[in-house]
Amino acid sequence: MAETLRIINGRVYDPINGIDGEVRDICISGAKIVESVPKGGKTIDAQGMVVMPGGVDIHCHIAGPKVNLARKVQPEDHRYDVHPRTAFTRSGTGGTVPSSFTTGYRYTTLGYTTAMEAAVPPIGARHALEELRDTPVIDKGFYVLLGNNLLLYQLLSEGRHEEFLNAVAWWIKACKAYTLKIVNPGSDVPWKTKNNANITGVNEQIGDYELTPRKVVKALIDAANTLGLPHPAHIHCNNLGHSGNVATTLETMAAAEGERAHITHVQFHSFGGQLGKNPISAASKISEFVDANPNISCDVGQVMFGKSTVMTADAPLAYLLRNYTKDRRWVNADTECESGCGIVPFSYQEHVYTHTLQWGIGLELFLLAKDPWRMVLSTDHPNGGSFMSYPRLIRLLMDRTFRNEEIRKVNRKAMRKTVLLDDIEREYSLQEIAIVTRAGPARLLGLKDKGHLGVGADADITIYEEDDDKELMFSAPRYVIKDGRAIIENHEFRTDHEGRILHVAPAYDPDIEKTLRPFFDSYYSLQFDNYAVSDHYAPGAQVIPTGK
Amino acid sequence: MGEENLHVVENATCTFCGCVCDDQILTVDRDAKRITKVKNTCALGRAWFTEHAHEERPVALIDGKEASLEDAVETAAQILAEARYPITYGLSDTTCEAQRHAIAISDVIGGTIDTTTSVCHGPSGIAFEGVGESTCTLGEIKNRADLVIFWGGNPAESHPRLFARYAIMPKGMFTPNGRKDRTVVLVDVRKTKSAPVADIFLQVKPGRDFELLWALRALVRGGRISGDIEEITGIPLETLKDLAERMKNCRYGVLLFGMGLTMTRGRHFNSGALLALASDLNDFTHFVAKPVRGHGNVTGADNVVSWQTGFPFGVNFSRGYPRFNPGEFTTVDVLSRGEADAAMIVASDPASNFPGPAIEHLKKIPVIVLDPKETMTSRLAKVAFTTATYGISVPGTVYRMDDVPIPLRTAFDSPYPSDQEVLSAIEARVRDLRAAA
Amino acid sequence: MAETMTLIAGRTSKQGTTLNAGKLKDDYREVTSSGEMNQDDMARLGLKDGDLVRLSTGAGDTVIRCSGRKPEDLPAGLIFLPYGPPSSQLMTGDTALSGMPLSKNIEVQVEPLGAPEAEG
Amino acid sequence: MEAETLSPDRLEGLSAKAAAKLSVQYGNASAPLGDFFEVAETAHDEMRLSGDLSRVKLVGAGMSRGRIQIEGDIGQHLGATMTGGEIMVEGNAGDWVGPEMRGGRIEIRGDAGHAVGSAYRGSRVGMAGGEIMVHGRAGNEVGNSLRNGLIAIGGDCGDFAGVNLLAGTIIVLGALGIRAGAGMKRGTIVAMGPTEILPTFTYACRYRPDFLRLYLMRLRALGLTIDDAQIAGAYNRWSGDSVELNRGEILVYDGAA
């Protein structure tokens, strides 16, 4: 007989099921939400509290090769933010790139129960999975980098579409990934062969390939949709951080031609102005396009002031940013045939024009969005700031007075380039917060059992004490329930929990190995037969179905 | 008789050195528990696989007397749970799966965990924390590198297949003619067996690597350097200028460096100078650097300790959370200063390669050893476990010197438990003991 | 008449292969206690291939068997010795905040002992 | 043992009884101060420590005021990140004297270990204010990443003095080890003894720096041995490091003017 739990008297926010703050009971049996449970089981009285599904982070960097390099390179980031062991939980360190255990526990202390690592090179999949296994409590998965893959480029440029599609499926399955990720498509070619150059537009030819970023993006968007991945191609556009990149971003969105596509940390891609000059805000342009095109979804990638760590598969970007910080440290790591990454310790400051503008653009994107289901919350942790700053971001969205106070503190010149000085009235409701932090991301990820509290849903539930200070309210939930178990009760950890790996396993024609093997034998430094990741690395994983 | 049971293991992985070649083909006699033939290997790999007929030893010894696995685990757990300053060291010749339990034990008992990194490329790790690193996977060297510089290392003897498989000979995407498409430079204090492969050999005066690297940095960045550079380093200014130009003008350059930098006066600053030089060169072209790591899974140890604690080695848990400070929490220091009151050594032999004062202290405290073979350290151990060898009788994960994780295939079963099995048993027991305390 | 020279401890393939057989085997002992020296230095010290020298530092001392190398391969004043118990006898515990004891380019006193006693 | 408890900020106003109850870290467990120390009545924000403290770490860490007098040797991390107050050590000190300190004063009558007034690993800035005086010798990495303040060493010091120096002054009355000032951006390193200069430094001139006289006279007043010739004498000036801004200087005493 499975353990049961009943949550009573709480105000429930469950946008997917159209429940907006009604007081009602939630019944849990085992790891699932059920219609009812027999009387007499364990009960939580949520009188005066807010009940929401567990938070879902659609885009963060928490595990894998580049994350671990970023940990290693910043001992000072950990030294003054330690995470002691408890009777139930392992110790670790925090900072902008916490250790694996601390990452899991800290997401839990915010009421988040699912998080997706957004960029892992295929060759590092095994590594990412090993780290995710040491990331407790939350369910987790990762997106595999295929946007600069040289074999895929070859197949695509030679018009071998069937093989291309099968190779994409093979790679996703071999890595146990959740979806495919595209980062600055085409950039690795000039980066590695032309004195660290970068791609400058979606229509520029990629090296000697008969390809452009637009063709690569379109082909991978189609592949993801043809394979019926629960979450579409997850795209980091070209020209991140460059003035005027809004044009590139709009062209990339248009390249989807109506097909489903997710544009990530869109704040970084919403710059107006002229290349080489100071950027200005083009948030409204992006906002209008997204509202008008339901096939497109975004996460914001909000910048929050303070310490951050730039860590990205967009190596040319990190190379550029290393000149914008006093820190001596710059990490670059090229990955054979597949990818690369760059890391720069960074911090966003209120008095710096560009930093403040980015902060403003992010807020604009939230406040202008007509459909919050397709403009969900992220800081591109830890690029825009740590996930630990989500509560503060929520307060900025929910509390107009607080927001205006903050706006007055920052670089005035930058604020004038946004609409924020017009005292925008919009304040996010609890329901809207539930959408951008849970229901929305879960729906975009195609996680049917997450992001809501209906019968059959995973019993991942967060219970907050209502408070006028929304930052306070969202930084310390009273209860966090994962898979039906109360992990946090009265703000304290009561037990440890593993959480599941989430991945997909699209079907492919086994003959594709005839195409892959020779390429591996020629250009890889490890054996084809040692490349694919075995189940040993994802015990108890949940395989999300693909296909229409 | 064994003939019928000859068995072939393809794509096996050699864990003897940091090259972690995963293309080994083993012929195994499973009756005799021996590997009789190895293809695609080097002298070190052949010895690693073929010399590995396991020894007839008890699974465990307590005070040198044969003991049951259970009693040994209990005694080890008692020692660790009661210790005030226990240190765990080694871990570079075992799987990541085992390493995870070793760290868990240190966390639970408030101990210190350190790996052989601290006496290998630990200084490079410290340097990394100062200047970062431009680096790559070995396949990028194979596919792209047209200038390969070996500094303070002797791969011909320490990493024999580094030349043939990854760095000099292989034909790659942009190096279709293999060796012909590369210029190879070797910098060392003596003409080693690696010297013959080099187009250019620079014989630097002993202990002058830093000055040479620093001068190169200045040349590359257009800074001035004094005229007596040849007196100081033994290398003429013209030769240096030529090298600087080659570096700036190559298409994809790589600096592979060894312990000629990390073990000499200057240590972390020597590595730092080289890493900084490689980064500087990216103002002109694409340039990477890579420490040539020694043990089969020392890189895995760095990775696992890093993701679990935030720090790569020399981590102390005595306050209930991880702290990092080389020179304070690194094993040679902790032992030489006589601080540790118990030690667990996993797959390493400090008693044969640590400085005298450290070995003297090891003799004074209860030591727990996990090793497939009898070693000088296991001889002075209070509790000694005989464990199965990773990559031969134990599957799991190891990380190549370029952080690429590679799975292990087994050749034959061992009568002994794996490090992971022993360590997880100890972990379970110390958890109980600490909870009770 | 001891001289000051520079010791370099390092890996060799022989040290590596014998290590597999076991560190307590004679081969390994043999390899790790056989060093190389510049021919001219040996001549000056009146040493022949196979002769013994005592190496000592502030930390300790050890006796090794030495053989000659040509000056172009091994400059004067250098001694090369494969890693092992003998070389570690010469290291001190101070790592200068690096965790790494100095193991290469150690200043050592070199004292020629002449031919080894017949083993028996 | 780790005893950051031993700082005027923590002890001020406490009775001996109360002070004895404060905890220190002994290995992996905490224990009352009184188990290890006999606590006499403490004078108003002034402490005296005696006995063998060479294994006691972090004494005076984070202190902001008051005075600590240590009769004998002291362990690592003395006065780590302190912002004010004064620490006086009669004997020798371990590694990391005043790491990342921001203000205050530390004086060591004997020798100090490595990394006097330095940055911890990963930190961009080391000592950023205050003064450290060591009458005896010091180890490697004196003033690593120093940004502001004065470090004076009475005897010789080890290698890499003033490595990555950002600003501030290091005065060594003995000889410098090798590679002093490697990577320095700005700031001044002064040496009385002979020293080997990195090839990336260039000789500028021989002169008599006025600012140095003031420093030296002050240090002499504080009890370091400095003769008139050194105060009035001439110094060879090297500028570097040319791999960085080249705006730092190393001054080496070159006899009477």
Neighbouring CB atoms inside 10 A of B181's CB total 15
CA distance B290 to B271: 10
CA distance B370 to B377: 10
Q: At which residue do the structure tokens 């202190």 appear?
A: D63
Best of D121, D123, D124, D244 to mutate (most A CBs within 10 Å, chain A) = D124
Of B137-151, C13-27, D104-118, the range with the lowest mean pLDDT is: C13-27
Residue closest to C66 by CA, chosen among C91, C88, C44: C44
DSSP for A492-521 reads EE-------BEE------TTHHHHHHHHHH
- Out of B125, B307, B322, name the one closest to residue A91 (CB): B322
State the average pLDDT over residues A2-28: 96
Best of B269, B279, B311, B328 to mutate (most D CBs within 10 Å, chain D) = B269
Measured between beta carbons, the chain B residues lying within 8 angstroms of C24 are 374-376
Instruction: Give the relative orientation of helices A246-255 and A213-226 as an angle to the nearest 10 degrees.
Output: 40
Measured between beta carbons, the chain C residues lying within 8 angstroms of D140 are 96-97
* Record: contact B322-A99, CB cut-off 8 A: yes
Alpha carbon dihedral A112, A117, A118, A121, in 10-degree steps, equals 180
CA distance B92 to B294: 9
Q: At which residue do the structure tokens 């040496």 appear?
A: D191
Q: How far is D229 from chain C (nearest CA, A)?
A: 34
* Record: contact B214-D27, CB cut-off 8 A: no
- CA distances to D193, D213, D230, D255 from D227, rounded to whole Å, are 13, 11, 5, 11
Instruction: Give the relative orientation of helices A283-292 and A353-368 as an angle to the nearest 10 degrees.
Output: 30
Q: How far is B206 from chain A (nearest CA, A)?
A: 29
CA distance B269 to B214: 10
SS3 A66: helix
CB neighbour list of residue D255: distance below 8 Å, 6 or more residues apart: D229, D233, D234
ω into A382 cis (within 30 of 0): yes
Q: Does D238 touch chain B (CB under 8 A)?
A: no
Query: What are C47's two structure tokens?
Result: 């040493």
* Record: contact A83-B138, CB cut-off 8 A: no
CB neighbour list of residue A84: distance below 8 Å, 6 or more residues apart: A91, B319, B320, B321
Residues 296-355 of B with CB under 8 A from A: 302-304, 306-312, 317, 319-324
CA distance A439 to A442: 5
Q: Does A126 touch chain B (CB under 8 A)?
A: yes
Residue type, B427: E
State the average pLDDT over residues A514-535: 98
State the average pLDDT over residues A402-414: 96
Residue type, B167: A
Query: What are D193's two structure tokens?
Result: 């003894």
CA distance B152 to B265: 13
Residue type, B394: V
Query: For residue C72, what pLDDT band results from cuts at 50, 70 and 90?
Result: confident
Residues 67-86 of A with CB under 8 A from B: 67-69, 71-75, 78-79, 82-85
> What pLDDT does residue A30 have?
96
User: Are D19 and D39 within 8 A, CB to CB?
Assistant: yes
Query: What are A119's two structure tokens?
Result: 């960029």
ω into D241 cis (within 30 of 0): yes
Q: Mark whether D and A touch (3+ CB pairs within 8 Å).
A: yes
* Record: contact A124-B405, CB cut-off 8 A: yes
Q: Mark whether A and C touch (3+ CB pairs within 8 Å).
A: no
- CA distances to A278, B202, C54, D161 from C69, rounded to whole Å, are 65, 18, 18, 38
Q: Does C96 touch chain D (CB under 8 A)?
A: yes
Question: pLDDT tens digits, residue range A356-393?
Answer: 999 999 999 999 999 999 999 999 999 999 999 999 99
Q: List the chains bordering chain D where 3 or more Cβ pairs fall under 8 Å.
A: A, B, C
- Out of C11, C75, C95, name the one closest to residue B154 (CB): C11
Per-residue pLDDT at D257 exceeds 80: no
Query: For residue C1, what pLDDT band results from cuts at 50, 70 and 90?
Result: low
Please compute, for residue A176, the number of CA atoms within 13 A of its CA located in the half-sphere on the CB side. Answer: 26
Measured between beta carbons, the chain A residues lying within 8 angstroms of D121 are 75-76
Q: How far is C79 from chain B (nearest CA, A)?
A: 10
CA distance C116 to C119: 8
CA distance A421 to A411: 12
* Record: contact D199-B218, CB cut-off 8 A: yes
Instruction: Give the relative orientation of helices B267-281 and B122-131 as an angle to the nearest 10 degrees.
Output: 50
Residue closest to B343 by CA, chosen among B76, B12, B25, B70: B76
CB pairs under 8 A between B and C: 160
CA distance A310 to A308: 7
Residue of C nearest to B351 (CA): C85
> What pLDDT does residue B172 have?
96
Question: pLDDT tens digits, residue range A193-216?
Answer: 988 999 999 999 999 999 999 999
Neighbouring CB atoms inside 10 A of D173's CB total 23
Q: What percent of chain D has pLDDT over 70?
A: 98
* Record: contact D199-B225, CB cut-off 8 A: yes
Neighbouring CB atoms inside 10 A of C65's CB total 15
CA distance A453 to A443: 13
CA distance D227 to D218: 12
Measured between beta carbons, the chain B residues lying within 8 angstroms of D27 are 83-85, 110, 318, 341
Q: Does A76 touch chain D (CB under 8 A)?
A: yes
> What pLDDT does residue A1 have?
62
Question: pLDDT tens digits, residue range A236-269?
Answer: 999 998 999 999 999 999 999 999 999 999 999 9
> What pLDDT does residue C120 have?
35
CA distance A363 to A369: 10
- CA distances to A109, A182, A234, B387 from A143, rounded to whole Å, are 24, 9, 8, 38
CA distance A445 to C102: 54
**Length of chain D in residues, anyone?**
257
CB neighbour list of residue C89: distance below 8 Å, 6 or more residues apart: B356, C59, C60, C61, C62
* Record: contact A75-D122, CB cut-off 8 A: yes
How far apart are the two ends of chain C, measured CA to CA in Å? 29
Best of B124, B190, B268 to mutate (most C CBs within 10 Å, chain C) = B190
Q: How far is D130 from chain B (nearest CA, A)?
A: 24
Instruction: Give the relative orientation of helices B298-309 and A100-109 as an angle to the nearest 10 degrees.
Output: 20
> What pLDDT does residue B2 have?
44
- The dihedral built from the CA positions of residue C70, C71, C74 and C78, taken in this order, carries a sign that is positive
* ipTM of the complex as predicted: 0.95
State the average pLDDT over residues D146-175: 96
Q: What percent of chain A has pLDDT over 90?
A: 96
CA distance A253 to A271: 15
Per-residue pLDDT at D19 exceeds 50: yes
CA distance A484 to A5: 7
Long-range contacts of B364-370 (CB under 8 A, 24+ apart): B364/B338, B365/B340, B365/B341, B366/B79, B366/B342, B367/B342, B367/B343, B368/B76, B368/B79, B368/B80, B368/B342, B368/B343, B368/B344, B369/B344, B369/B345, B370/B90, B370/B94, B370/B344, B370/B345, B370/B346, B370/B419, B370/B422, B370/B423
Measured between beta carbons, the chain D residues lying within 8 angstroms of B325 are 120-121
CA distance B91 to B298: 7
CB neighbour list of residue B221: distance below 8 Å, 6 or more residues apart: B280, D242, D243
Q: What is the mean pLDDT, run by run of 10 residues, along chain B of 437 residues?
A: 75 96 95 93 94 84 97 98 97 97 98 95 94 98 97 94 95 96 96 95 95 97 90 96 97 96 93 98 97 94 98 97 97 96 97 92 98 94 97 97 97 96 98 91
Question: pLDDT tens digits, residue range A265-318?
Answer: 999 999 999 998 999 999 999 999 999 999 999 999 999 999 999 999 999 999
Tell me how far the alpha carbon of residue A114 is from its chain's centroid: 10
